[in-house]
């Protein structure tokens, strides 16, 4: 069976779809799994051995997207997150069975609609995604390995990274970037305060990571750190290349962004900050990996200050044991 799985939004959202792609492939290895993804997730999707083909949604008009889908000869589609455009494109492509959550006006273009009420957050996003696989195969096992993602030559990539930056100890990384599903984050100055705690631990090397479009944040962090042994790393390569490094890091500290989901998916321990709201909570956006520590940042100033002191204590405690 040729199965199209649609999750054509951000990095973290796509990673929440990976367990569904995995279980569909492993339920019956003869299934041909086709993923419809956003351009930024192309390399990651192509690197997954449980995905057979990748269709990149470049944002073209409905007829062009429908043509791409039709060329893949799809029997069934499972749309994990829908909008009217992708719904109509699948209808135009004449996919026989079209499965999707029963939400929004787009649902009228699907012929098997599943009530989930994700806004109630009774499960995490990736668990809601997995549940949709049962609409196609009621007996399917929803189990998947943790970590789920493994990449060839990760050890080589990490060795080259260590050589370039003079790293000789286990790496604790901070990613102060903003965005993702979280409505709350620490300021850069607060991140620097956390970084100083890690910097004082001689048994580790400390890295601050930045995305390709975070040049200004990189320069601000550099100015705030001054003379320091902290390594500032601005990633200019692909998501897969960054994932290879993350798989060898010992701890990754960030807000709830795509990089957090990526780190957890490759097996790195995470300290992650979420807004103290149901929509942006860890209950909804917990990652697909293990070794997770979640902190909900209150919206009020006093609660925020109290939580920051707690984070500092827990970080000190975590770094006081072997990494």
Same domain, 176 and 86: no
In a shared domain, residues 76 and 189: no
pLDDT at 110: 96
State the residue range of the domain holding 45.
Answer: 2-133
Q: Is residue 139 part of a domain?
A: no
In a domain, 146, yes or no: no
Q: Which residue has the tokens 């956003």?
A: 38
pTM for this one?
0.95
pLDDT given for residue 117 in this prediction: 87
Q: Examine the domain organization and report whether 180 and 49 are in the same domain.
A: no
Residue 148 lies in a domain: no
> Which one is predicted more confidently, 60 or 223?
223
From residue 107, alpha-carbon distances to 100, 116, 188, 221, 257 in Å are 7, 13, 42, 46, 28
Helix 125-133 / helix 18-27 crossing angle, nearest 10 deg: 30
| Count of structural domains within the chain | 2
Position 203 in a domain: yes
Domain end point (choices 82, 100, 133): 133
Say if residue 274 is in the same domain as residue 192: yes
27 or 182, which is more confident: 27
Would you say residue 9 has pLDDT above 60? yes
**Is 95 among the domain residues?**
yes
Location of structure tokens 């990095």: 11
Determine the pLDDT at residue 279. 87
Do 79 and 117 lie in one domain? The reply is yes
Query: Nearest 10 degrees: CA dihedral of 244, 246, 248, 252?
Result: 180
3-state secondary structure of 59: coil
Decide if pLDDT at 317 tops 60.
yes
Confidence of residue 179 (pLDDT cuts 50, 70, 90): low
21 and 57 inside one domain: yes
Query: What's the confidence (pLDDT) of residue 323?
Result: 77
CATH of the domain at 250: 3.40.50.2000
For the stretch 91-143, pLDDT in tens is: 999 999 999 999 888 899 999 999 998 889 999 999 999 999 999 999 999 99
Mean pLDDT of 35-62: 97
Q: Which of 133, 164, 185 is the last residue of a domain?
A: 133
User: Is residue 147 domain-resident?
Assistant: no
pLDDT tens digits, 225-242: 999 999 999 998 999 999
Res. 55: pLDDT tops 90: yes
Same domain? For 211 and 108 the reply is no
229 secondary structure, DSSP code: S
């Amino acid at each position: 069976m040729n199965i199209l799985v649609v999750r054509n939004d951000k990095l973290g959202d796509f990673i929440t779809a990976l367990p569904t792609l995995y279980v569909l492939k492993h339920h019956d290895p003869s299934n041909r799994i086709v993923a419809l993804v956003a351009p930024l997730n192309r390399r990651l999707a192509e690197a997954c051995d449980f995905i057979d083909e990748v269709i990149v949604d470049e944002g073209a008009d409905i007829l062009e997207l429908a043509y791409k889908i039709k060329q893949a000869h799809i029997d069934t589609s499972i749309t994990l997150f829908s909008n009217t455009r992708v719904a109509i494109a699948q209808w135009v492509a004449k996919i026989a069975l079209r499965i999707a959550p029963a939400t929004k006006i787009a649902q009228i273009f699907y012929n098997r609609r599943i009530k989930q009420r994700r806004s109630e957050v009774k499960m995490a996003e990736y668990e809601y995604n997995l549940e949709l696989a049962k609409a196609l195969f009621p007996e399917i096992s929803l189990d998947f390995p943790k970590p789920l993602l493994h990449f060839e030559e990760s050890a080589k990539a990490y060795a080259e990274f260590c050589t370039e930056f003079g790293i000789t100890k286990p790496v604790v990384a901070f990613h102060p970037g903003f965005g993702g599903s979280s409505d709350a984050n620490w300021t850069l100055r607060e991140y620097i305060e956390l970084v100083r705690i890690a910097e004082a631990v001689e048994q580790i090397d400390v890295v601050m990571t930045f995305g390709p479009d975070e040049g200004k944040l990189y320069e601000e962090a550099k100015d705030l750190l001054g003379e320091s042994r902290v390594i500032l790393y601005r990633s200019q390569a692909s998501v897969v290349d960054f994932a290879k490094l993350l798989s060898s890091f010992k701890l990754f500290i960030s807000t709830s962004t795509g990089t957090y989901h990526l780190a957890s998916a490759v097996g790195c321990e995470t300290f992650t900050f979420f807004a103290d709201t149901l929509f942006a909570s860890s209950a909804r956006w917990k990652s697909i990996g293990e070794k997770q520590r979640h902190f909900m940042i209150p919206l009020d100033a006093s609660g925020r200050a109290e939580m920051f002191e707690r984070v500092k204590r827990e970080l000190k405690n975590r770094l006081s044991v072997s990494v």
